[in-house]
Amino acid sequence: MHRDKYQVKGKRSMKFKLLHGKRLIYVVMFAFAFLLLTFDFSLAATTAAKHYTELKLPALPAVKLPKYERFVLQNGMVVYLVEDHELPLVSGSALVRTGSRWEPADKVGLAGLTGAVMRTGGTKKHSPDELNEILEQRAASVETSIGEGSGSASFDSLTEDVETVFGLFAEVLREPVFAQDKLDLAKNQTKGGIARRNDDPNSIANREFRKLVYGKESPYARTVEYATLDKINREDLVQFYQQYFHPNNIILGIVGDFDSKKMRSLIQAKLGNWQRNPKITKPQLPEVSPANKGGVFFVNQPQLTQSSVLLGHLGGQFDSPDYAALDVLNGVLNGFGGRLFNEVRSRQGLAYSVYGYWSPRFDYPGIFLAGGQTRSEATVQFVKSLQTEIKRIQAQPVTAQELAFAKESTLNSFVFNFQDPGQTLSRLMRYEYYGYPSDFLFRYQKAVAATTAADVQRVAKQYLKPENLITLVVGNQTTIQPPLTGLAKQVTPIDVTIPGSPSQANN
């Protein structure tokens, strides 16, 4: 009997091996055939390959606004709702009219700390650990921050958990406690950032260039220091929060898998009884004027083998009637096929990266900026090439091919900003925040499509100021040959030594 069992097992084993062997042969034959076909297709593809300028692309899809609701609570909070049932997720964000540009000059860093500790410090009902645990159990998040021109609070949740998560989000907005130990931790983390801020030459260049454009004391350029951090205490955070966080100073937007009627009820339950502040006023914007109208500036970093270069001047705002034409000008200068890439990087071989663009802001002047990274010995030549291209776009009309390329790339990138309802909702909220018309994006799109070569040359002549270009180089003084005096008789050194030393966080 046992012998028969082993015979059966042996037959099954042999049958398995035979089948396995046949399958292996089939697999090898299939793989070989696939390689032959792939090789044939590769040859065909290579033979039929076209230059990118010969490719015919389908028309861009139209940008459509998703269906949305906008209403205002009795306490003045503006609310946008967009239903999107593709995934069982709900996300929301609140825009708060605040920002670091309104923090006291001797307490730079206050806004950022307020935005951070508002979330990490817990609420009146939940300690930081309790808040974290509840959210982690639900794979949800609630975050807060305050940047230069606005504050934000956000949440992400599964549909089934939205009531709980939104409740925590409302708590963080309304009842933060700014725990002292979390403030101490945030201050120490900020001090660590100060200590490391000169590690990256590009960061040095961006930071110091803003100071050269706006002025080192401008709210748009000043930096947090050890001394300003040491002056900030918990009461400062509480006062900063109380000054700006009121329902009639907030725009709330929610998008995702929900029923609008139920969401209205949830918002009303959690935020409807939040008392408005009748005395709140729109804060006055800091004044902006150019701190320098030209000049060459240098930050010596002996350890570097290449130079980071920036040049430019004060720019403009999104609401300029010429914004679309200036954006097309950006397309002529930038990217693969742009003038800077073709001339400075490809033909002259002077740059690892190169760019030049008009960079506006919503409610204050932005910057026109050009620059890139180059090897030390090519620094002066690189700067001169950038200057030449800026002057050339003023003097030489763009070709029909350049114009078509720039408009197409500009409109293409524009369309990709509206791939999902959340992106569009964010735009609508930001337009309302800064007082722009809700159809601003459609006006812009039409203006780009209507831009001509003459428009590009006109705005280049009107807005670009080659005679007022500020030039900043971060590099190794001994290896920059010829020296920067080949650009100007006077080269002004910039000292980036970090003032003071970190002290223990105040208690």
The three-state (H, E, C) secondary structure of 323-385, written as one string? HHHHHHHHHHHCCCCCHHHHHHHHHCCCCCEEEEEEECECCCCCEEEEEEEEEHHHHHHHHHH
- Both 203 and 322 in a single domain? no
Residue 129 has pLDDT above 80, yes or no: yes
Burial (0-12, 13-18, 19+ Cβ within 10 Å), 29 = exposed
Domain boundary among 220, 255, 271: 271
Q: Is 14 a domain residue?
A: no
Instruction: Estimate to the nearest angstrom the gap between the alpha carbon of 172 and the chain centroid.
Output: 24
Q: Is 57 a domain residue?
A: no
- Distance (Å) of CA 320 to CA 284, 390, 464, 495: 20, 21, 14, 36
| Cβ 106 vs Cβ 231: under 8 Å | yes
- Both 339 and 429 in a single domain? yes
- Both 353 and 232 in a single domain? no
Domain boundaries, position 325: 295-493
pLDDT score, position 504: 52
Residue 12 has pLDDT above 50, yes or no: no
Q: Is 254 a domain residue?
A: yes
pLDDT score, position 303: 96
3-state secondary structure of 209: helix
3-state secondary structure of 290: coil
Domain boundary among 239, 271, 303: 271
pLDDT score, position 61: 64
Domain boundary among 271, 303, 326: 271
Beta bridge partners of 372: 309, 354
Q: Is 125 a domain residue?
A: yes
- Both 113 and 173 in a single domain? yes
Q: Given its phi and psi angles, is residue 24 left (phi above 0), alpha (psi -120 to 50 degrees) or beta?
A: alpha
pLDDT band per the 50, 70, 90 thresholds, residue 66:
confident
Q: Is 282 a domain residue?
A: no
- Both 241 and 341 in a single domain? no
Q: Is 378 a domain residue?
A: yes
- Both 263 and 310 in a single domain? no
- Both 431 and 314 in a single domain? yes
Radius of gyration of the chain, Cα coordinates, nearest whole angstrom: 29
DSSP-assigned letter for residue 59: P
Number of other residues whose CB lies within 10 A of the CB of residue 268: 13
- Both 379 and 471 in a single domain? yes
DSSP-assigned letter for residue 229: H
Q: Is 186 a domain residue?
A: yes
- Both 410 and 367 in a single domain? yes
Residue 102 phi/psi, 5-degree rounding, is: -110, 10
Beta bridge partners of 90: 157, 256
pLDDT digits (tens, 9 = 90+) for 439-489: 898 899 999 999 999 999 999 999 999 999 999 999 999 999 999 999 999
pLDDT digits (tens, 9 = 90+) for 328-366: 999 999 988 899 999 999 999 999 899 999 999 999 999
Beta bridge partners of 145: 152
State the average pLDDT over residues 78-87.
97
- Both 123 and 267 in a single domain? yes
Residue 51 has which token pair? 């230059």
State the average pLDDT over residues 210-229.
97
pLDDT band per the 50, 70, 90 thresholds, residue 57:
low
For residue 235, the domain's CATH number is 3.30.830.10
Burial (0-12, 13-18, 19+ Cβ within 10 Å), 292 = middle
Residue 60 has pLDDT above 80, yes or no: no
Residue 467 has which token pair? 């005679």
**Domain tally for the chain?**
2
- Both 109 and 154 in a single domain? yes
Q: Is 196 a domain residue?
A: yes
3-state secondary structure of 460: helix
- Both 225 and 311 in a single domain? no
